[in-house]
Structure 1
Amino acid sequence: MSQILTANQAAELHKSIVAYLSSINASQGAATLREELQLGEGFDEATSKKYEGLLEKKWTGIARLQRKILNLEGQIASLQAELDAAPTTRSKQSQNPENWLPKPSSTHTFESHRDAIRCIAFHPVFTSLASGSDDYTIKIWDWELGELERTLKGHVRAVSGLDFGGQKGNTLLASCSGDLTIKIWDPSKDYANIRTLHGHDHSVSTVRFLTSTNNLLVSASRDATLRVWDVSNGYCVKVIRNDSWIQDVSPSFDGKWLVSGGRDQIVKIWDASTGEHRAALLGHENDIQCCVFAPPASYKYLAALAGRKSPPSADSSSEFIATGARDKTIKLWDSRGLLIKTLTGHDNWVRGLVFHPGGKYLISVADDKTIRCWDLSQEARMVKTIDDAHGNFVTCVRWAPVANADTAVDANTANGAPAKPNYQCVIATGSADSCVRIFT
């Protein structure tokens, strides 16, 4: 018995050999082999005809595969030679996290929702990602392994906003919905719904923790208000009134300031502690869909764009703002109301914005199904477009969590060398195609 072939495979081979010998008129050899292999009367002439030619087909098939293998090996060798000959400076640049931009193809595609994705949020510590959908559910994924961990049910309308936050060591997930409620979920208790916040009179558009390590949460609503909540007890501690539907709100990195935008086409900056209106930015010609403060790492590029001689202090948290709207444009502003630059290129509503933690790039997503990357060091020129990033409108984008500043300080910094980047090169996008994609 062959040590490689199974019993069935060996029997098929034996019959093929006997049939081949019969077909070339080697009847004596065929008869001898039949006798040695103990092929009984069941292997008659009709059966032998079925096996004729099988051996030649297998043999010629192997020859074709060998030729294909040789051709592919030649192509691999040629491509490797091209890679080896590529300039080393380009290779170094691609390895520098400050120059990282998403590749055209995603690392993972998550498919489980039954309707459009509205919002996504990364867990600040673990490799968990939450997605909210028009199917009324929240799903928790492991974005590194590409696996669905659980589905959260509780809202009775579309889930419109998500964010992780809360005190250090006690991370919570906040969600909001068209059902007028905000729900708080505890990951440490299998994502149990531990609190539901009531107070808004219309659909809640979005929720954001003021910082990733405190219990204050801000929500924006179609009832034309911003509300600040203490999630530890569920109380609304402040109501900020606007003139029309607020579709997005984002806090500054220290939680001291809020920027909002919506149906009235005005971007507004608010003092988070007092609720006072600090500035109004006018320029968009349609509803504002997204707004975000620039991180201090972007100040040197945005200050140059604004014509300033030197960038503002990194301690200042509300110097520059980016906004996207249904007028298909992105606008860059300073906090005093000066429009620095209008970025054009999207062919449909701009839905989401995120700054690269290294400060050099702004990344946008839109209903034109694209992801676009803008280089702030080159006067905010569009340097990369990922067409058909999704099969439908791209509705949201988030960057993986950035570690606290003190985690980036190490021996290299103490010796005068640059600090290591304290961020991961990972973004997530959600879409009306019901999919979440991870780009790493």
Structure 2
Amino acid sequence: MANKKFKLSSSLFGHSLDVRSVVVANNNSIISGSRDKTAKLWIPNKINSAYAPITTYHDQKNFVIAVLYLDPTQEYPDGLIVTGGNDNTIYIYKPSEPFATLTLKEHSNAVSCLSKTSTPNSFLSGSWDCSAKLWALNKSQSSVVTFSGHSAAIWAVIQLQDSRILTASADKIIGVWNSEGVKLSSLIGHTDCVRGLLDLPELCQFVSVANDATIKVWSYTGENVDTYYGHNNYVYSIARCKAAGENSFVTSDEDRTVRFWHNGVNVESFQLPAQSVWSVACLSNGDVVTGSSDGVIRIFTRDESRYADQAALNKFNEEVEALTKQSSQEIGGYKISDLPGKEALYDPGRKAGQMKMIREGAGVVAYTWVEDGDKSHWEKVGDVLGSTDKNNQDKTMYEGKAYDFVFSVDVEDGKPPLKLPYNRGQDPYQAANNFLAKNVLPTSYLEQVVDFILKNTQEQYVPTANEYMDPFTGGSRYTPSSGANNQGFAGANFDPFTGSSSSITLSHGIKYFPINVYRTFEMGDPNVILGKLKEFNEKSGDSKNSVVSEGYLDEVVKLCNGPPDDPNAFDVLFKLLDWPDEIVFPVVDVVRMAVRHKKNNEIISSANNGILIQKLMGFVNENCKVVNNIIVALRTLCNLFIHEYGEDLVFEHRFDVVENVTALGSLNKNAQIALATILLNLSVASLKKKDELGISVLADVIPDILSKLSDPESQFRGYVALGTLLTSPNSQQIAEVKAKVKTNSGFVSALQSHLLSGQSDLENKRQNCAQQVQDILSISF
């Protein structure tokens, strides 16, 4: 048996989102907690090695982070199940009942960990409110002791055999406490958030794991007696394997890996087909249970009699191999292994037409969000293919020609997908037109095909990426992309109020306006931002701008990807906005990415009586000396329009925005593009809200600014904004707008020069758009 390797025994399906916690109850039953807001009790199938879900616990109002089983007592002969989560609440269940028997509400933030004590019906809890608590259910429904003293979230809490309490925190410290709540010592050794703790009482030692990828062994006297290395990423969980010996345990990490340790040696490791292995536990027979980010609970065994059948083993190995291969592959600048799995499709889209790339099996599939009332859903667009191996620069062959990408596009159920070839730098509209013409498809598909190309290649409208230099790195990796809402720019003549399409003209006849969708800046790498925040953190200044715990910086950056686990992240974000001007731009960029998400947009837009708009106006100002602040502030204003809260905020201050941008001096290409985009979004908003005064003001401002822009993409967006105003449904106001524009001599001169043919696809596109504006104005040269 000792020479056998761990292999898959069983996969338990039932959760729809990440399984954040797994523990073993009596008779080798399993309890799981998930981001889908439920916990489940699974019992072994006596026929084979499979498990069956018996009870689902529904009371948690947010993610279930931690679960615990309390052993049977006279009062509770079946034991108790305890859950804690992001609703700051602890629920206690009888195993057979789906609704809680007791509810405990003392923590002021997410309950992140739970563990047993040596006393029956007692347990410990830890929270992001920086405290841990001891509960004794026989005495009262209030906590018995509170352990306070950490400066950041607590991620683990346990009781040692000698009754002392240990707490592990994001402040990198392990706290040692007596049973009365008095802090005895602080153990310092880890260089990042401490995530897990394990007692080894026979050795008078305990073990800690952390985000610094290390495992540390401590003596009961507080000495760091050993450090184990092997993990390559955050270590999330640790569990003892008593069946394998007194000094045996397993750990799991962010790099898909579970490692089995015996006497300080990493005896074996195996990988899962999921990016994060959040939690591990061990059954009494030595089998290992895992909970992971793909929502699946898996059991691994060394006992051949409990191995899964060969078909299941083959499928599992193929999934692992595919994800391992994807870790060295990219599509459109995305690392495939970093893309979400199908569990991401449980989250609704932000708007109709939003695109999302999903990792499925060995490949990547694109989905689009379809708005249909209660039936809104993610709809498969097609497989994403192309040159993906970073170490293999060979192109994909199609019909005898080499292409950077060859996409498979599903057009009709039951029919094979069609192939769409594309090369970087190619005009996406022309490629889409060619595809539609070759396959005799309706021109109404043009916009979807163009959006598909741009989203999955991360191509820009400009031919060279370095024109969008990233203020963080100077490169093009972190640049604004075309985003998910390109549909208003070309390919369709949209009614600005209903969104309906009145006509679509192909090739050079594309109508670029009017549009009714907001233009945004979607791209960004949260890891790059986090790096800058940590770099600048030590430079943040005086006592007002004190240094922030790196654990809180991590939580702030999570805002880029959606609502945070820790709601205090918003308070920290606004604190960081007080950083000195020369280092604040990564903080503003967090805001830019955060407000793409509806809940973030609502909270940030309404916080502190509109403090955000005051901050942004301070950066979009002629007195601002830091150009990066101007760029990220303008981009943030653009992204605020995505949801109604930010839209209303910017619209309320639209005249302040216009006044400030007109006073800006000479700008680089990044700033020009952001400036033109905010004018475009203001034009869309003014038409949407039938704001006659706003339309009149923009008719004065846009031609004047457009005549001063030097970047072709910025000029193009300026013409789209102006064309949108010129096609207002209010015929009387159109006459007024036309008259204002035609009397602007600087604009007329610029228009004449822009009507000349260009040297690039971008300049030609600007020329075509300028021509359409001239046709409306009826200006003769």
Give the TM-score of the pair, scaled to structure 2: 0.36
The runs of 4+ residues in structure 1 deviating greater than 6 Å are none
Q: Which residue of 1 aligns with 2:225?
A: 340
Q: Distance in 2 between matches of 1:392 and 1:143?
A: 27
Relative to its length, the structure with more helix (as a share) is 2
Match status 1:393 vs 2:276 = yes
How far does residue 253 in structure 1 lie from its aligned partner after superposition? 4.5
Is the 2:90–2:104 Cα contact (8 Å) retained in structure 1?
yes
Distance 1:175 1:167, change over 3 A: same
Q: Which residue of 2 aligns with 1:226?
A: 132
Q: Distance in 1 between matches of 2:29 and 2:267?
A: 30
Is the 1:207–1:217 Cα contact (8 Å) retained in structure 2?
yes
How far does residue 430 in structure 1 lie from its aligned partner after superposition? 0.5
Match status 1:122 vs 2:28 = no
Q: Which residue of 1 aligns with 2:608?
A: none
Bigger Rg, which one? 1
Unaligned ranges ≥5, structure 2 = 302-781
Q: Which residue of 2 aligns with 1:432?
A: 293
Distance 1:234 1:390, change over 3 A: farther
> Which one of 132, 154, 159 corresponds to residue 64 of structure 2?
159
> Which one of 254, 268, 278 corresponds to residue 384 of structure 1?
268
How far does residue 170 in structure 1 lie from its aligned partner after superposition? 4.3
Is the 1:259–1:292 Cα contact (8 Å) retained in structure 2?
no
Q: Distance in 2 between matches of 1:332 and 1:283?
A: 11
Deviation per CA, 1:65-123, whole angstroms, max 9, x where unpaired?
Answer: xxxxxxxxxxxxxxxxxxxxxxxxxx6x55xxxxxx8x432211111111111111221
Q: Which residue of 1 aligns with 2:160?
A: 252
How far does residue 167 in structure 1 lie from its aligned partner after superposition? 4.6
Distance 1:183 1:294, change over 3 A: same
> Which one of 176, 189, 194 corresponds to residue 283 of structure 1?
189
Is the 2:58–2:98 Cα contact (8 Å) retained in structure 1?
no
Match of 2:296, as an amino acid? Answer: C
> Which one of 221, 226, 240 corresponds to residue 355 of structure 1?
240
SS at match of 1:126: helix
SS at match of 1:106: strand
Match of 1:431, as an amino acid? Answer: S
Q: Distance in 1 between matches of 2:199 and 2:28?
A: 25
Is the 1:429–1:436 Cα contact (8 Å) retained in structure 2?
yes
How far does residue 219 in structure 1 lie from its aligned partner after superposition? 0.6
Q: Distance in 2 between matches of 1:321 and 1:126?
A: 26
SS at match of 2:53: strand
Q: Distance in 2 between matches of 1:335 and 1:279?
A: 12
Relative to its length, the structure with more strand (as a share) is 1
Q: Which residue of 1 aligns with 2:176?
A: 269
Match status 1:141 vs 2:47 = no
Q: Which residue of 2 aligns with 1:106?
A: 8
SS at match of 2:101: strand
How far does residue 257 in structure 1 lie from its aligned partner after superposition? 2.2
Deviation per CA, 1:365-403, whole angstroms, max 9, x where unpaired?
Answer: 111111112221xxx1222111x2342211111122xxx
How far does residue 207 in structure 1 lie from its aligned partner after superposition? 1.4
Match status 1:243 vs 2:146 = no
> Which one of 208, 213, 220 corresponds to residue 328 of structure 1?
213
Higher relative contact order (CA 8 A, sep 6+): 1
SS at match of 1:208: strand
Give the TM-score of the pair, scaled to structure 1: 0.63
Deviation per CA, 1:159-218, whole angstroms, max 9, x where unpaired?
Answer: 01111115523400111011010000002x43441010011111111112213x611121
Q: Distance in 2 between matches of 1:170 and 1:146?
A: 19
How far does residue 284 in structure 1 lie from its aligned partner after superposition? 0.5
Q: Distance in 2 between matches of 1:431 and 1:133?
A: 9
Distance 1:275 1:176, change over 3 A: same
Is the 2:19–2:295 Cα contact (8 Å) retained in structure 1?
yes
In the comparison of the two structures, how many residue pairs are matched? 290
Match status 1:201 vs 2:108 = yes
Deviation per CA, 1:204-258, whole angstroms, max 9, x where unpaired?
Answer: 11112213x611121101111111112244221111112221111122257x122
Is the 1:393–1:432 Cα contact (8 Å) retained in structure 2?
yes
SS at match of 1:184: strand
Percent identity (aligned): 25
Unaligned ranges ≥5, structure 1 = 1-90, 95-100, 300-318, 401-422
Is the 2:70–2:81 Cα contact (8 Å) retained in structure 1?
yes
Match of 1:262, as an amino acid? Answer: S
Q: Distance in 2 between matches of 1:435 and 1:424?
A: 21
> Which one of 148, 173, 182 corresponds to residue 81 of structure 2?
173
